[in-house]
């Protein structure tokens, strides 16, 4: 039982659910951007878990971690989108099913 | 069943639902928007978990900056809606579903059984933004500096890739 | 303990001196490239200097823990730091002529390489999961970009995309693992994990698995290996030379740090089994599939997968001797694998095309030096005695047998027998086939010669006089807390 | 210098060839003749330097002589320890002899990238010599494996039609054997540490180990035995040999058959026996049986061959089978005979390959059917070939007889009398296949016109061959010069086994074959 | 001063080396000088050592040259032995050998190149060396050296005309068959070593004689093994097949090696080991039987041969059988005596046939000869004398030795063998005189140009003929039967020292003391039989031109075919041994080696590659699949770690 009576269990449950949904997205979506969105979702799930624990432990470090993670996510997004654009210049698509020049 | 918990569950529920929407919706633009909503809901849960600063950052950076960037790129590349047909090999999808279910089961089972923490600190707790800041600049100074390098790298990298071919 | 605001003393400065040098050098390179194009041909030299200086700072840094227990300077960090620095140096040496040939000599390349190297250094020295994660991401972001560095070539961009997507996916797992560990330990300090009650906690175990897969991905450990062949194939070879060596070492070190912190009293059997399974899968898959490869960069990728299998044996053995073995193994792997990629970079004329092994036909007589170095590297990778590769295998298998893991050892040697199959295939193409076409290879630049020479010398030196390295590795391993 | 040759002679012998090879790297690629000459000179110098071993060898002692010791990996007790006893002495001299012989032969034959060829040969010599003098198992293993690489290149680059397949087969076979031995070596060292608390890879230390159970000892023994059996090669593991020998260039075949095969038996004598006396004794019968099979099988298959080199190659299987029998019989007479027979086989088969090469280089065919009746055209070659043939089929007065006789006699006096009977059929079989080879190649009507113009053997080749013939006669007439050097060492080996067995309490007692005393 | 024994063979060896190394350059005259000279010197040296013996005042001389092989409890020396037995052997080996070398000069001179000529004499000298070593050896191993050495030389000399494929084949055949014998000899030697712990004749025989009861059946086995060796070397059934083919060599070779000396080595060896054999009665019986069978078997074949040299070859086989018959019944003296006389007349016959062939320019078929008596007087006379000697007509040499053998057989109470011996004697006379008749009597049946070309041989060839004929005449007097008095049989007395009495339980030594009347009877019978055969042959072939024989052959065509085809033994062996050997070799190579062993290995390699080639396609290039494998990996790990919980 943590701040304001929110059980840690709920937090973890939500976090886990989001994480799994993210995984599902990453596996089932076809265009690169959607896949990356799913990954972002997974990272948020992690953040939620951290904050949940931080609250439960009365530990500020968690918030610091999340703070950094969000920044990292932003940076990742920038690079990722840049890569998408660069690739799109060649393939005119970001559908990963059609991006398999390198294989076998 | 406190109000806080109700609120949390509601927000989390919204986040989860819209996350699902994001995953299942074949139109990327709409799935981005769904994700925006999901992140807003998460921001709410952050507040409830007494992390106002993070909530703010979540809204501004994530929902604000990043996802807008996504939308922007989507428009730029005008990514088409995913065709219903042939979204990957059936075996792929089948295995994926099975794996996801098993994984989810395992994850949630472990959470339910062992998610708890050893010693619950007593008393109420209020996170102060100033403390967070102090922590960032004292104990996590190194991470902070490192992060700056990371951002720089990302910046230069993005710039390297995205700018028009000049040479060769 | 909350130190005062901006607690940054001389100790801290000394500790993160190497990283500062790298970061600054990176900026300098970018700026010079942007505003003084004429200085472009000095960038490589500058980067080399930076790497050298940072390595020197690393040696100079007083050992101890700084940044309020989040950063370490020890024999271990020195050893692995030198290992990474050497890799980076070779990569830069290879990069210069390579980029010149392709007309792509841009400062960003060196800058990103330096920053990626910085990330590796953070991973290896950080005793704080957040630092490690940031290091990991710095490394990843830089190399996502380097993978896609040839914007004009679709393969390169595709490599970037694949690396990015899979990498992000993997680091999400890493992050989740870190989150759970934080939840259990109440801190992201690795030291905090060494609480007796955590060793048996299933959630911790799960978290460790997440870290394992996250870093296993960086190690290109089967089944988290799938990205490696494609990425290596599309990525500029010098970058591969670095990516295929240093980050793997860093990841293993991190894993060892975490595991040794959690499992103070030895690793649970189930975990050992999991690691053994990974090892066997990785060795077997890597070697067997490598037999079927036509492109040398893919072939080397699979060989790398197999080698990480051998390393994982040492991880499964889990002990001080094993860690020492890992360190030796990575030094050997550095000279062999980086050398191989350096030779590939020197041997193939057209970087924009794939690198079929067949193109090397008869090079042994056309371009003796790089060919012979490549052959030497391959023999070393195959673990023929008197080469570094043998020494690496020697210590790993020794550790395994000491621990009584005979089955692993036997599977390991059988695998290295299989591996000989494809290594010798390349050697055979090099020396026992008639040359195809009349195109002359590019004249070897001094940088290439230097890089190849260093690797060859390293292979033989380590292979013949491994004693010093072994002692260093053991002292390094001593700085981790293991059950006596 | 004096001191170097005085107290570090073996080290000099081990590394001189490599040093020469390193110098060769400085030669420009196109100065082929000079490179050849230099390599030859180096190998001759090596031979000259190895002769003092013969003269300064202490006939009285069966223990190791010329011993040198230096730390290599102190923290693991791995040391550079070398020394020789009578067995290694003879094989060492055989090596230092055959290498210049092969190079001398190659003077006029190798054209393609000569420098590399010479380098490969010198490195190979280092590997072989090192293997023969190493007394530390780690050191031994290193040299043992190092040999493969140059041989792989020699077969693969300068070999015949199916050289790639042959080279690969050679490499993989040998590797397959030695990798398990590698693990076994590690186990031994670790066991030694567990028992004594200190690291050591020294043969002398590890040979004092006892094993927890017979099963473990057996497994380790088999790991060693497999490696050596493949090298020898013992019957079902022999199929790499015909391909390797046939496809290798003549010089390579000489070294392969002359030396490399011996290292299998050598390793068995030097390491497998002292380390695992019980298992060795328990499995000696199997060894003998395989040897018998090898003798007869090899002879039969040799007879069926249409390719000269293949025929000689299979004859090696047969001869080495005899050697293996001698080892399995484990009487001092038989074992001495085996070691001597290794030398003999090195000389005779070396000579045979050389002369086959002489013919091949002139008519570019190894097919027996392409010859016939050339005795009149190339009388000297014929004469030499006949001598080599008679040496290899064990005609008294030449070396082959002494070895064969000792092995058979010693085996006869061992418990396994019937091996001798079965192996003695080799006396008949070898005559059959070798003489039909002689008949089909040198005798019979001269059918092919082009053979009328077959050039006679060149002086360089003649010198190379004569050196071998001279030794054949020497050993045949004065075998004691060699046996005197072997006797104590063989006794030492047998004693080590015997004493170890006496010491072994928990081990199952397997009686040593006793000499039949009248 | 006395010449060291080793000098004797050494001289021949020197000759060999000189001819081999210098012969081609220095030409025929040099070769003749060296080749014949060396043997001459050896003869002189040998006889200088022999004189004391024939003065009767010499004991056994054993001279050790040097230790040869010594390992552990085994050691043999290069040591030589001169005792009555070896004295007897070298006496005629050297002398006859010398004569034949002399003869060879004339025979080989004109139809050979310098190289070939040198080769011939080199081999001949090498043979002399080996033969003398064999005879003079003081232990089994050294004896084996000579034993194999003579085999080698016969191989080389049979294959002397190497470009004739039948010659090459014959050489190989001879060597291989000999090797089969040597196989037995070798094992026999091993047996001796494990029984006596040494190879020295003295120690072996003394040990054996000292304690006869000790060895029992083992000794029988050893003797049989040794006898296998003798069978091979002396062309006894069933290993006789090589000798007739050996006639492919030059005639002097046939005379020296395949008649006079080498082939008798078996007899010599058995006699040398008489102590052992006498301790093994069963073995001796086998020897006798084999000898008897061979004698009659070869004689029968000889009757139907048309090649003059083949007839002589089979007669040699038959006579060797006689000798073994003698040894088998314990009449070793008779055996050796026959060896001696046989050496004379058989050498003479071969050289004579050589002269004939030489005269007819290589013609060997008696059906194309005839009437040569007038054209080749010397040859004819010597040939006739030798024939009569061989047929056992008194007082020629053959008569005495053959009679001694028959007497011995009779005395040993072996009636069947005696009958066989007697019948063989008759056959011998028959086929020999058949040859004489066909060759020298009647009309010449050859081609005209042969007729024109016929001429008597040069002196180098005729002189040996005469000498040998003389010896065949008088040679027998060294061994007069005892009816001429106690001391008459000098050779018996001479050999007595090497035939020590051995006493062993069970059987009494076969004493040769028959009543005088019986002896006379035996003599008479044998002479009668010989005369009958002789006259029959003369009547059929000389007077009636072979018509009766033809008629007989026509009456029993199958039988005749069988006999004239040497009972198809070669074909039989080809069917039983050669073909199976060849096909087995093929099978082992193609099936076991290539198909099974390599097949399995290559299949293994192939499978691994196949697996690799299949797994390779898991690498689809599609990121989603990679993510999937990733997740599957995690799930697997989770299951491993949390499997039980």
pLDDT at B57 over 70: yes
The reported pLDDT for the residue numbered D517 is: 42
DSSP C72: E
Q: Determine the distance in angstroms separating the CA of E153 from the nearest CA of chain D, rounded to an integer.
A: 12
> If pLDDT is split at 50, 70 and 90, which confidence band does E592 have?
confident
- CB pairs A-B closer than 8 Å: 240
CB contact under 8 A, E621 and A101: yes
Say if A17 is an interface residue toward chain C (CB within 8 Å).
no
> If pLDDT is split at 50, 70 and 90, which confidence band does E140 have?
very high
Say if B110 is an interface residue toward chain C (CB within 8 Å).
yes
Average pLDDT, chain E: 87
Q: How many CB atoms lie within 10 A of CB C201?
A: 19
Dihedral pair phi/psi, residue E128, rounded to 5°: -55, -45
- Chosen for mutation from E619, E622, E630, E632 (greatest number of chain A CBs closer than 10 Å) is E622
- Report the alpha-carbon distance of residue D240 to residue D264 in Å, rounded: 14
- Chosen for mutation from B139, B140, B148, B166 (greatest number of chain C CBs closer than 10 Å) is B139
Q: Determine the distance in angstroms separating the CA of B162 from the nearest CA of chain C, rounded to an integer.
A: 9
pTM (predicted TM-score): 0.92
CB contact under 8 A, E619 and A97: no
CB contact under 8 A, C187 and A87: no
> If pLDDT is split at 50, 70 and 90, which confidence band does C3 have?
low
Over residues D165-186, mean pLDDT: 91
Q: Determine the distance in angstroms separating the CA of E626 from the nearest CA of chain A, rounded to an integer.
A: 9
Q: Determine the distance in angstroms separating the CA of A3 from the nearest CA of chain B, rounded to an integer.
A: 7
Nearest CA in chain A to E612: A104
Say if D187 is an interface residue toward chain C (CB within 8 Å).
yes
Contacts with C368 from chain D: Cβ below 8 Å: 29
Q: Determine the distance in angstroms separating the CA of A104 from the nearest CA of chain B, rounded to an integer.
A: 17
Say if A43 is an interface residue toward chain B (CB within 8 Å).
no
- Using CB atoms, pick whichever of C409, C424, C474 lies closest to residue D75: C474
pLDDT at C454 over 80: yes
pLDDT in tens, D132-150: 999 999 999 999 999 999 9
Beta bridge partners of C356: C295
pLDDT at E437 over 60: yes
pLDDT in tens, E508-538: 555 556 778 888 888 888 899 999 998 998 8
DSSP C45: H
pLDDT in tens, D237-275: 999 999 999 999 999 999 999 899 999 999 999 999 989
Over residues D8-37, mean pLDDT: 87
Give the chains touching A; criterion: ≥3 Cβ pairs < 8 Å: B, C, E
> If pLDDT is split at 50, 70 and 90, which confidence band does D109 have?
confident
CB contact under 8 A, A78 and B158: yes
Report H helices in E496-590: 516-537, 547-555, 557-564, 569-573, 579-587
Q: Which residue's structure tokens are 């990991």?
A: C136
The reported pLDDT for the residue numbered E644 is: 63
Residue of D92, D104, D4 whose CA lies nearest to D47: D92
For residues B77 and A85, the answer to whether their CB atoms sit within 8 Å is yes
Report H helices in A2-97: 8-28, 32-57, 61-91
DSSP A4: G
Q: Determine the distance in angstroms separating the CA of B30 from the nearest CA of chain E, rounded to an integer.
A: 21
- Report the alpha-carbon distance of residue C363 to residue D352 in Å, rounded: 35
The reported pLDDT for the residue numbered C480 is: 83
Q: Determine the distance in angstroms separating the CA of A4 from the nearest CA of chain C, rounded to an integer.
A: 19
The lowest-confidence range among C133-137, C162-166, E426-430, E550-554 is E550-554
Nearest CA in chain A to B157: A79
Nearest CA in chain C to B131: C2
CB contact under 8 A, E624 and B95: no
Task: Please report the sign of the dihedral spanned by the C-alpha atoms of residue D192, residue D197, residue D201, residue D206.
Answer: negative
- Report the alpha-carbon distance of residue E468 to residue E378 in Å, rounded: 12
> If pLDDT is split at 50, 70 and 90, which confidence band does E210 have?
confident
DSSP D413: T
- Using CB atoms, pick whichever of B137, B142, B160 lies closest to residue C16: B142
pLDDT at E503 over 60: no
> If pLDDT is split at 50, 70 and 90, which confidence band does D159 have?
confident
pLDDT in tens, C212-235: 999 999 999 989 999 999 999 999
Say if B103 is an interface residue toward chain A (CB within 8 Å).
yes
Say if E193 is an interface residue toward chain D (CB within 8 Å).
yes
CB contact under 8 A, D29 and C385: no
Interface predicted TM-score of the whole assembly (ipTM), two decimals: 0.91
pLDDT at E584 over 70: yes
The reported pLDDT for the residue numbered C23 is: 94
Say if A49 is an interface residue toward chain C (CB within 8 Å).
yes
- Using CB atoms, pick whichever of B110, B147, B154 lies closest to residue C202: B110
Residue of D150, D151, D391, D385 whose CA lies nearest to D256: D151
pLDDT in tens, E468-499: 999 998 888 888 877 776 667 788 888 888 88
- Report the alpha-carbon distance of residue D69 to residue D131 in Å, rounded: 15
Over residues A11-33, mean pLDDT: 91
CB contact under 8 A, B142 and C131: yes
Contacts with D420 from chain E: Cβ below 8 Å: 187, 190
- Using CB atoms, pick whichever of A19, A65, A90 lies closest to residue C157: A90
Say if A74 is an interface residue toward chain E (CB within 8 Å).
no
The reported pLDDT for the residue numbered C441 is: 62
- Chosen for mutation from C71, C134, C195, C208 (greatest number of chain B CBs closer than 10 Å) is C134
pLDDT at E364 over 90: no
pLDDT at E281 over 60: yes
- Chosen for mutation from C123, C141, C146, C185 (greatest number of chain B CBs closer than 10 Å) is C141
> If pLDDT is split at 50, 70 and 90, which confidence band does E188 have?
very high
pLDDT above 70 covers what percent of chain E?
A: 97
pLDDT above 90 covers what percent of chain E?
A: 33
Q: Determine the distance in angstroms separating the CA of C413 from the nearest CA of chain D, rounded to an integer.
A: 6
pLDDT at B69 over 60: yes
Over residues C104-132, mean pLDDT: 93
CB contact under 8 A, B117 and A74: no
Contacts with C71 from chain B: Cβ below 8 Å: 142
pLDDT at E47 over 50: yes
> If pLDDT is split at 50, 70 and 90, which confidence band does D508 have?
very low
The reported pLDDT for the residue numbered E475 is: 84
Give the chains touching D; criterion: ≥3 Cβ pairs < 8 Å: C, E
- Chosen for mutation from C223, C269, C299 (greatest number of chain E CBs closer than 10 Å) is C223
pLDDT above 70 covers what percent of chain B?
A: 92
Average pLDDT, chain C: 91
Say if D244 is an interface residue toward chain E (CB within 8 Å).
no
For residues D159 and D250, the answer to whether their CB atoms sit within 8 Å is no
pLDDT in tens, E59-100: 788 889 889 998 888 889 999 998 888 888 988 899 999 999
Over residues D152-158, mean pLDDT: 91
Supply angle C-alpha C451, C453, C455, rounded to 5. 70
- Chosen for mutation from E625, E628, E630, E636 (greatest number of chain B CBs closer than 10 Å) is E628
Over residues C256-265, mean pLDDT: 90
Residues in chain B: 168
**Chain D stretch 79-118, residues whose beta carbon is closer than 8 A to a beta carbon of chain C:** 113
Give per-residue burial for C155-169: e unless 16+ CB within 10 Å, then b: bbbbbbbbbbbbbbb
- Report the alpha-carbon distance of residue C350 to residue E350 in Å, rounded: 86
The reported pLDDT for the residue numbered E385 is: 92
Say if D180 is an interface residue toward chain C (CB within 8 Å).
yes
Say if E601 is an interface residue toward chain D (CB within 8 Å).
yes
The reported pLDDT for the residue numbered C152 is: 85
End-to-end CA distance of chain E: 106
CB contact under 8 A, D443 and E162: yes
Nearest CA in chain E to A103: E621
pLDDT in tens, C366-384: 888 999 999 999 999 999 9
CB contact under 8 A, B110 and E642: yes
> If pLDDT is split at 50, 70 and 90, which confidence band does A2 have?
low
The reported pLDDT for the residue numbered E237 is: 85
pLDDT in tens, C55-70: 999 999 988 898 888 9
The reported pLDDT for the residue numbered D513 is: 46
Q: What is the CA radius of gyration of chain A?
A: 17
Over residues E409-427, mean pLDDT: 89
For residues C250 and C80, the answer to whether their CB atoms sit within 8 Å is yes
Average pLDDT, chain D: 89
The reported pLDDT for the residue numbered D28 is: 79
Give how far Cα D470 sits from Cα of D99, D435, D464, Å: 16, 22, 10
CA E398 to chain centre: 20
Say if A103 is an interface residue toward chain C (CB within 8 Å).
yes
Contacts with D452 from chain E: Cβ below 8 Å: none
pLDDT at C261 over 70: yes
CB contact under 8 A, B77 and A94: yes
Report H helices in C36-106: 43-60, 75-102
> If pLDDT is split at 50, 70 and 90, which confidence band does D510 have?
very low
The reported pLDDT for the residue numbered D408 is: 93
Residues 6 or more apart in contact with residue E28 via CB below 8 angstroms: E109, E114, E117, E118
């Amino acid at each position: 039982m943590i701040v304001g009576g929110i059980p840690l269990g709920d937090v973890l449950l939500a976090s886990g659910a989001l994480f799994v949904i993210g995984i599902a997205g990453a596996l089932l979506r076809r265009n690169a951007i959607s896949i990356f969105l799913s990954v972002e979702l997974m990272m948020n799930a992690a953040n939620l878990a951290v904050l949940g624990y931080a609250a439960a432990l009365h530990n500020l470090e968690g918030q610091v971690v999340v703070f950094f993670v969000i920044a990292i996510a932003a940076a990742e997004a920038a690079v990722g989108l840049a890569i998408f654009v660069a690739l799109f210049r060649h393939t005119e698509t970001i559908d990963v099913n059609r991006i398999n020049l390198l294989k076998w | 069943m406190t109000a806080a918990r109700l609120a949390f569950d509601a927000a989390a529920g919204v986040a989860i639902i819209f996350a699902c929407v994001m995953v299942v919706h074949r139109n990327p633009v709409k799935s981005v928007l769904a994700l925006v909503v999901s992140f807003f809901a998460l921001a709410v849960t952050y507040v409830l978990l007494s992390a106002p600063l993070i909530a703010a950052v979540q809204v501004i950076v994530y929902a604000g900056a990043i996802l807008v960037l996504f939308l922007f790129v989507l428009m730029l590349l005008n990514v088409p809606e995913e065709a219903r047909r042939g979204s990957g090999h059936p075996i792929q999808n089948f295995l994926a579903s099975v794996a996801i279910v098993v994984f989810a089961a395992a994850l949630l089972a472990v959470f339910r059984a062992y998610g708890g923490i050893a010693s619950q600190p007593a008393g109420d707790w209020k996170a102060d933004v100033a403390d967070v800041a102090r922590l960032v600049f004292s104990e996590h100074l190194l991470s902070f500096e490192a992060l700056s390098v990371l951002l720089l790298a990302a910046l230069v990298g993005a710039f390297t890739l995205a700018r028009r071919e000049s040479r060769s | 303990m909350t130190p005062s605001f901006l607690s940054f003393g001389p100790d801290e400065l000394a500790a993160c001196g190497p990283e500062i040098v790298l970061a600054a050098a990176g900026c300098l390179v970018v700026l010079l490239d942007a505003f003084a194009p004429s200085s472009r041909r000095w960038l490589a030299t500058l980067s080399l200097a930076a790497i050298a200086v940072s390595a020197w700072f690393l040696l100079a840094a007083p050992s101890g823990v700084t940044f309020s227990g989040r950063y370490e300077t020890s024999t271990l960090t020195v050893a692995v730091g030198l290992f990474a620095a050497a890799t980076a140096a070779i990569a830069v040496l290879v990069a210069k002529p390579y980029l010149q040939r392709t007309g792509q000599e841009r400062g960003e390349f060196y800058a990103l390489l330096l920053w990626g190297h910085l990330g590796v250094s953070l991973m290896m020295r950080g005793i704080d999961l957040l630092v490690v994660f940031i290091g990991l991401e710095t490394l990843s972001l830089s190399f996502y970009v380097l993978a896609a560095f040839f914007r004009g070539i679709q393969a390169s961009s595709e490599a970037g995309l694949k690396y990015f997507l899979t990498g992000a996916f993997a680091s999400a797992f890493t992050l989740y693992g870190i989150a759970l560990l934080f939840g259990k330990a109440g801190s992201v300090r690795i030291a905090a994990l060494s609480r007796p009650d955590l060793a048996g906690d299933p959630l911790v175990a799960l978290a460790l698995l997440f870290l394992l897969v996250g870093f296993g991905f960086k190690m290109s450990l089967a089944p988290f290996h799938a990205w490696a062949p494609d990425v290596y194939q599309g990525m500029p070879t010098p970058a591969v030379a670095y990516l295929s060596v240093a980050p793997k070492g860093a990841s293993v070190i991190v894993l060892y740090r975490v595991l040794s912190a959690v499992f103070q009293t030895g690793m649970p059997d189930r975990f050992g089994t999991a690691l053994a399974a990974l090892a066997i899968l990785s060795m077997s898959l890597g070697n067997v599939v490598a037999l079927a490869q036509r492109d040398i960069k893919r072939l080397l990728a699979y060989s790398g997968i197999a080698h990480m299998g051998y390393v994982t044996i040492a991880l499964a053995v889990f002990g001080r001797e094993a860690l020492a073995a890992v360190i030796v193994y990575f030094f050997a792997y550095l000279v062999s694998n980086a050398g191989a990629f350096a030779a590939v970079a020197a041997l193939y004329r057209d970087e924009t095309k794939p690198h079929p092994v067949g193109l090397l036909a008869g090079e042994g007589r056309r371009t003796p030096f790089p060919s012979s170095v490549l052959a030497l590297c391959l023999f070393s990778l195959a673990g023929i005695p008197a080469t570094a590769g043998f020494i690496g295998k020697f210590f790993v298998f020794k550790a395994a047998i000491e621990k009584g893991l005979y089955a692993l050892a036997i599977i390991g040697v059988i695998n290295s027998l299989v591996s000989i199959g494809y290594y010798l295939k390349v050697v055979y193409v090099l020396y026992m086939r008639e040359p195809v076409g009349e195109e002359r290879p590019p004249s070897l630049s001094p940088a290439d010669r230097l890089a190849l020479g260093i690797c060859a010398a390293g292979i033989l030196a380590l292979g013949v006089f491994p004693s010093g390295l072994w002692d260093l590795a053991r002292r390094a391993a001593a700085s981790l807390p293991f059950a006596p | 210098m004096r001191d170097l040759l005085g107290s570090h002679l073996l080290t000099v012998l081990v590394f001189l060839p490599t040093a020469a090879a390193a110098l060769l790297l400085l030669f420009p690629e196109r100065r082929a003749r000079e490179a050849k000459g230099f390599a030859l000179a180096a190998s001759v110098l090596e031979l000259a330097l190895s002769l003092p071993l013969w003269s300064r060898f202490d006939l009285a002692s069966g223990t190791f002589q010329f011993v040198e010791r230096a730390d290599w990996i102190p923290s693991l007790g791995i040391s550079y320890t070398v020394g020789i006893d009578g067995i290694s002495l003879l094989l060492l001299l055989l090596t230092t002899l055959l290498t210049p012989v092969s190079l001398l032969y190659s003077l006029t034959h190798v054209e393609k990238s000569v420098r590399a060829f010479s380098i490969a040969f010198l490195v190979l010599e280092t590997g072989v010599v090192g293997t023969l003098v190493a007394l530390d198992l780690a050191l031994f293993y290193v040299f043992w494996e190092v040999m493969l690489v140059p041989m792989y290149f020699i077969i693969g680059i300068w070999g015949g039609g199916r050289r790639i397949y042959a080279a690969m087969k050679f490499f993989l076979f040998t590797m397959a054997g030695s990798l398990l031995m590698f693990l076994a070596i590690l186990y031994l060292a670790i066991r030694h540490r567990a028992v004594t608390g200190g690291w050591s890879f020294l043969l002398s230390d590890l040979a004092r180990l006892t094993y927890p159970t017979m099963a473990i000892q057996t497994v380790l023994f088999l790991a060693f035995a497999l490696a050596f059996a493949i090298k020898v090669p013992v019957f079902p593991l022999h199929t790499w040999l015909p391909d390797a020998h046939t496809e290798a260039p003549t010089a390579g075949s000489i070294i392969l058959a002359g030396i490399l095969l011996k290292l299998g038996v050598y390793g068995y004598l030097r390491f497998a026996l002292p380390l695992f006396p019980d298992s060795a004794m328990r499995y000696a019968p199997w060894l003998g049986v395989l040897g018998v099979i090898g003798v007869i099988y090899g002879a039969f298959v040799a007879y069926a061959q249409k390719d000269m080199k293949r025929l000689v190659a299979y004859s090696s299987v047969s001869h080495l089978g005899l050697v293996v029998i001698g080892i399995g019989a484990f009487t001092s007479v038989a074992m001495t005979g085996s070691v001597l027979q290794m030398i003999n086989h090195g000389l005779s088969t070396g000579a045979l390959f050389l002369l086959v090469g002489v013919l091949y280089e002139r008519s570019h065919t190894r097919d027996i059917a392409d010859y016939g009746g050339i005795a009149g055209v190339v009388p000297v070659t014929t004469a030499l070939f006949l001598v080599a043939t008679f040496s290899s089929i064990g005609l008294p007065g030449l070396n082959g007889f002494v070895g064969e006789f000792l092995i058979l006699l010693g085996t006869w006096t061992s418990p396994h009398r019937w091996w001798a009977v079965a192996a003695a059929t080799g006396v008949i079989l070898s005559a059959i296949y070798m003489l039909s080879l002689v008949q089909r190649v040198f005798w019979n009507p001269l059918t092919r016109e082009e053979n009328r113009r077959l050039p006679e053997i060149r002086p360089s080749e003649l010198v190379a061959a004569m050196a071998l013939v001279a030794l054949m006669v020497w050993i045949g007439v004065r075998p004691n010069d060699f046996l005197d050097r072997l006797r104590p060492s063989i006794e030492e080996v047998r004693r080590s086994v015997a004493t170890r067995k006496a010491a072994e309490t928990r081990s199952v007692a397997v009686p040593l074959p006793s000499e039949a005393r009248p | 001063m006395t010449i060291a024994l080793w000098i004797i063979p050494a001289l021949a060896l020197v000759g060999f080396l000189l001819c081999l190394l210098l012969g081609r350059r220095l030409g025929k005259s040099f070769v003749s000088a060296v080749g014949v000279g060396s043997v001459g010197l050896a003869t002189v040296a040998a006889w200088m050592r022999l004189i004391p013996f024939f003065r009767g005042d010499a004991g056994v001389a054993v001279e050790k040259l040097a230790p040869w092989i010594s390992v552990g409890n085994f050691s043999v020396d290069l040591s030589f032995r001169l005792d009555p037995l070896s004295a007897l052997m070298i006496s005629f080996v050297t002398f006859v050998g010398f004569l034949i070398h002399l003869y060879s000069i004339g025979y080989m001179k004109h139809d050979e190149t310098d190289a070939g000529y040198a080769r011939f004499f080199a081999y001949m000298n090498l043979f002399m060396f080996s033969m003398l070593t064999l005879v003079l050896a003081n232990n089994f191993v050294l004896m084996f050296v000579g034993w194999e050495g003579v085999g080698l030389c016969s191989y080389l000399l049979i294959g002397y005309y190497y470009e004739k494929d039948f010659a090459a084949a014959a050489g190989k055949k001879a060597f291989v068959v000999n090797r089969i014998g040597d196989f037995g000899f070798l094992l026999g030697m091993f047996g001796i070593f494990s029984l006596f712990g040494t190879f020295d004749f003295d120690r072996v025989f003394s040990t054996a004689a000292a304690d006869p009861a000790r060895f029992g059946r083992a000794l029988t086995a050893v003797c049989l093994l040794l006898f296998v060796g003798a069978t091979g070397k002396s062309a006894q059934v069933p290993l006789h097949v090589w000798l007739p083919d050996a006639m492919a060599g030059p005639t002097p070779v046939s005379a020296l090696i395949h008649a006079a000396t080498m082939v008798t080595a078996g007899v010599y060896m058995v006699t040398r080991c008489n102590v052992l054999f006498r301790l093994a009665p069963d073995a001796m019986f086998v020897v006798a039987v084999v000898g008897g069978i061979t004698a009659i078997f070869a004689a029968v074949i000889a009757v139907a041969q048309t090649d003059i040299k083949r007839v002589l070859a089979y007669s040699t086989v038959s006579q060797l059988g006689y000798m073994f018959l003698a040894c088998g019944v314990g009449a070793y003296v008779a055996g050796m005596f026959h060896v001696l006389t046989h050496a004379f007349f058989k050498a003479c016959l071969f050289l004579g046939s050589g002269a004939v062939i030489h005269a007819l320019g290589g013609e060997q078929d008696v059906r194309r000869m005839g009437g040569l008596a007038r054209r080749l007087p010397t040859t004819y006379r010597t040939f006739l004398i030798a024939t009569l000697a061989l047929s056992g007509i008194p007082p020629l040499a053959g008569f005495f030795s053959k009679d001694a053998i028959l007497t011995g057989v009779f005395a040993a109470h072996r009636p069947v063998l005696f009958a066989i011996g007697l019948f063989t004697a008759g056959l011998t006379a028959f086929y020999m005189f058949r040859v004489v008749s066909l060759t020298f009597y009647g009309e010449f049946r050859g081609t005209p140009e042969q007729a024109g070309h016929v001429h008597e041989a040069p002196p180098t060839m005729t002189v040996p003929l005469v000498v040998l004929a003389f010896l065949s005449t008088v040679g027998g007097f060294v061994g007069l039967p005892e009816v001429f008095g106690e001391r008459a049989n000098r050779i018996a007395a001479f050999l007595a020292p090497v035939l020590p009495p051995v006493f062993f339980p069970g059987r009494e030594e076969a004493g040769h003391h028959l009543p005088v009347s019986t002896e006379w009877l035996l003599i008479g019978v044998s002479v009668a039989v010989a005369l009958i055969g002789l006259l029959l042959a003369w009547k059929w072939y000389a007077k009636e031109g072979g018509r009766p024989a033809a008629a007989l052959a026509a009456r029993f065509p199958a039988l005749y075919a069988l006999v004239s085809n040497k009972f198809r033994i070669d074909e039989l062996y080809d069917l039983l041994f050669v073909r199976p050997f060849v096909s087995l070799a093929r099978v082992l190579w193609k099936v076991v080696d290539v198909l099974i062993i390599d097949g399995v290995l290559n299949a293994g390699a192939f499978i691994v590659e196949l697996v690799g080639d299949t797994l390779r396609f898991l690498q689809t290039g599609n990121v989603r699949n990679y993510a999937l494998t990733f997740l599957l990996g995690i799930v697997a790990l989770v299951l491993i770690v949390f499997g039980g919980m």
